[in-house]
Copies of this chain bind each other. A is one copy, B any other.
Amino acid sequence: MIIGIVVGSVWATRKEQRLDGFKLLIVREIKPTGEKTNTYHIAGDLVDAGVNDMVLLTRGSSARQTEDTKEKPIDAIIVGVIDRIDLEV
C-alpha cells in the first residue's frame, strides 16, 4: 500500500454502470517522511475520507477485495484514514 493526502474529487456523469454510487477522490501520493510527490491516484472511497485526510491506498486486484468493490472496474481504493505514522529510522 501507499500513503497519500486527499486533495479533491472527480465527477463523471457518463460512466460504466458498475461505478454508479462511488465517490471518487483524488489522492496525492506522499512519502512516509511527509515529502509530497507529483504522483496522483483516483481512488474509490470506502472510509468516508475528506480533503486533507492522510489515507492508506490499496491498488490493483486487491482493491476489489471488499464487499463494495467486488467485481467492479476499480483499481485503487482508500482503505483507511491514517492517525499516526511512526518513522523510527
A7 near B32: Cβ-Cβ < 8 Å: yes
Q: Is the CB of A12 within 8 A of B65?
A: no
A85-B10 contact, Cβ under 8 Å, with A1-B43, A40-B31: yes
| Bound-complex Cα distance A56 to B80 (A) | 23
Instruction: List A residues at the B interface (Cβ < 8 Å).
Output: 1-3, 5-16, 18-19, 24, 26, 28, 31-32, 38, 40-43, 46-48, 51-52, 56, 58-66, 69, 71-77, 79-89
Indicate if the CB atoms of B15 and A47 lie closer than 8 Å: yes
- Nearest to A1 among chain B residues (CB) is B42
Copy number in the complex reads 5
**Which single residue of chain B is at the shortest CB-CB distance from A70?**
B65
Is B31 within 8 A of A80, CB to CB? no
